[in-house]
Structure 1
């Protein structure tokens, strides 16, 4: 059994321990997503306090799509220099830092009337009620290219890798979900089709960033409601991503801040734990694949979590 303080590898990246700070929206950037002194300080403090790998708050990939105020940006080259300062400050303390990259989509109530928000289909998001514009093939290509360019910028800025956010009912998760994805083209219907958008994003980013740059994917364990993405589907997605060359997975959930009240219940035949909400789901996936698996949520103390990192 590996311990929290054992070293491990994620692709070509070596970590001094298995302590990961999962992505958190700090709401501390400038209005257009640029770094501030407060944010530099937070990340350097995490590194000083022996966090092996820091995953940043999510960064938007196109300027016109900002699902929350004060979130990080990676939508043009103007961010590269300031992120180089960030990665330098983290690396001085022997920690690694990963940039989480996302397109938020309809899980938002921020400036909804003032911008176009893409979605796979005309289905309102459950928590926000926000509807999006169903994407054309041209829209899909635009977002795929934006993800790829963001990954390349992250590498240029000195990040140790990136994490594609495909969970929490953000846009990629909605394509994966049979509830939100009602398309009748090659991006909808069967799971293979619903995965196509994520796979195109990964492949385009891999081409831009190269084989030596770690790319992780964050997945929803289950959507935890009838008609949504199931755990069996997530397991199939995880296996497919491993075959493609994804370096690691983070297993999370999408339960709208209700984790404590839902803990102890059974979903898709598995328990949502009171300690480490998604640990049971992550443990199973870690046995399905031979790449590192991270679990997040409700981990209040070191626990007997199976970790497949080598």
Structure 2
């Protein structure tokens, strides 16, 4: 059997295979971020489908900051009981589950003008053109503490770890970026200063959850535009995160919806690939650090994934859209059924009724109601 189905470790977490459901916004939570029966069904089907590690859709860490409709919440203790039901559900199939935590910031067009949106500096997000409020030191401390408290709630809910979302032009990524971060205090200027916000978040989380609770960090390989975060800087960030004790690093990109059109183009000396858009960046990082590296984006062919596992130090392979089309894809691969994946990469999976494959996999009909 393929080594992709061999057990492995991320920190103290033992995984039965090397496949990850990458964080996927399902748009199925209630208005205030609570679980619904449809959401429980989504996660149960993924666990039944032999996904080794499931990463939740991103959860907001403070009640007043919600970058998308229907996203999960983790901003107070009212979520713990229902998430205990979720983690118990996943664990009964021998899968592991990690909660992704994020502060979206200006990468949003949702309810803009109705709330204060924090940013490192008053620089509009390039895609949304949303402008945020430059954060004071007190506001930075508030968000650092919110990440830590949300992580402790995740631990108390039975999650196997947390993933800090520091990619995709969300708030932490903007602090790392010289384009978005124009600060002249201890959080701006040098890379060491731009990293400070992320480092403080990691250290605050670690102080609350202890040394044995896995903390993963998702990073943008490069920002793919002049003046943005470069891959050389990302490599330095990864080395510092390893030194601090992070348990795994996810290397992603910052080009939602555009990656396929950029395949074959070169950025910072590396080329975007059709099977694993950011695989070249992940392969380099996997040589730089000893902690596990996870690649995400554009993976759908088991043969290509096996080739990546055999020729690089990348240890884990994350998928999203293929699992929307085929939630039990990993089980099929384990059973040596290698026919093409039921995913056309059409990116029509985001709908007002929730995010699901509109071609191959229809949503179930259970009521979208809050569950205690």
TM range (shorter): over 0.9
Q: Is 1:51 matched up with 2:51?
A: yes
Determine the structure 1 residue equivalent to 2:327: none
Per-residue CA deviations over 1:61-101 (Å, capped at 9, x if unaligned) read 00000000000000000000000000000000000000000
Partner of 1:4, secondary structure, is: helix
Taking the aligned partners of 2:71 and 2:62, their CA distance within structure 1 comes to 12
Partner of 1:217, secondary structure, is: strand
Determine the structure 1 residue equivalent to 2:5: 5
Gap regions ≥5 residues in structure 1: none
- Greater RCO, 1 or 2 (C-alpha within 8 Å, sep 6+): 2
Q: TM-score, normalised by structure 2?
A: 0.82
The residue correspondences of 1:111-122 to structure 2 (distance < 5 A) are 111-122=111-122
Conserved in 2, the CA contact under 8 Å of 1:65 and 1:117?
Answer: yes
Taking the aligned partners of 1:130 and 1:309, their CA distance within structure 2 comes to 36
Conserved in 1, the CA contact under 8 Å of 2:68 and 2:110?
Answer: yes
Determine the structure 1 residue equivalent to 2:138: 138
Taking the aligned partners of 2:79 and 2:269, their CA distance within structure 1 comes to 44
Determine the structure 2 residue equivalent to 1:267: 267
Aligned length: 309
Partner of 1:275, secondary structure, is: coil
The residue correspondences of 1:198-277 to structure 2 (distance < 5 A) are 198-277=198-277
Conserved in 2, the CA contact under 8 Å of 1:68 and 1:110?
Answer: yes
Deviating beyond 3 angstroms after TM superposition, the runs of 4 or more aligned structure 1 residues are 307-310
Shift of 1:224: 0.4
Conserved in 1, the CA contact under 8 Å of 2:295 and 2:314?
Answer: no
Taking the aligned partners of 1:56 and 1:284, their CA distance within structure 2 comes to 27
Shift of 1:256: 3.2
Determine the structure 1 residue equivalent to 2:286: 286
Per-residue CA deviations over 1:240-280 (Å, capped at 9, x if unaligned) read 00000000000000013101110110000000111100011
Partner of 1:295, secondary structure, is: strand
Partner of 2:4, secondary structure, is: coil
Taking the aligned partners of 1:22 and 1:308, their CA distance within structure 2 comes to 15
Determine the structure 2 residue equivalent to 1:80: 80
Taking the aligned partners of 1:184 and 1:272, their CA distance within structure 2 comes to 34
Taking the aligned partners of 1:136 and 1:26, their CA distance within structure 2 comes to 32
Partner of 1:192, secondary structure, is: helix
Taking the aligned partners of 1:259 and 1:201, their CA distance within structure 2 comes to 29
Taking the aligned partners of 1:4 and 1:86, their CA distance within structure 2 comes to 26
Partner of 1:264, secondary structure, is: coil
Conserved in 1, the CA contact under 8 Å of 2:218 and 2:250?
Answer: yes
Taking the aligned partners of 1:278 and 1:6, their CA distance within structure 2 comes to 24
Taking the aligned partners of 2:153 and 2:206, their CA distance within structure 1 comes to 12
The residue correspondences of 1:173-192 to structure 2 (distance < 5 A) are 173-192=173-192
Q: Larger radius of gyration, structure 1 or 2?
A: 2
Shift of 1:307: 4.1
Taking the aligned partners of 1:4 and 1:45, their CA distance within structure 2 comes to 20
Conserved in 2, the CA contact under 8 Å of 1:219 and 1:251?
Answer: yes
Q: TM-score, normalised by structure 1?
A: 0.98
Taking the aligned partners of 1:220 and 1:7, their CA distance within structure 2 comes to 27
Per-residue CA deviations over 1:163-197 (Å, capped at 9, x if unaligned) read 00000000000000000000000000000000000
Shift of 1:6: 1.7
Per-residue CA deviations over 1:102-161 (Å, capped at 9, x if unaligned) read 000000000001000000000000010000000000000000000000000000000000
Partner of 1:94, secondary structure, is: coil
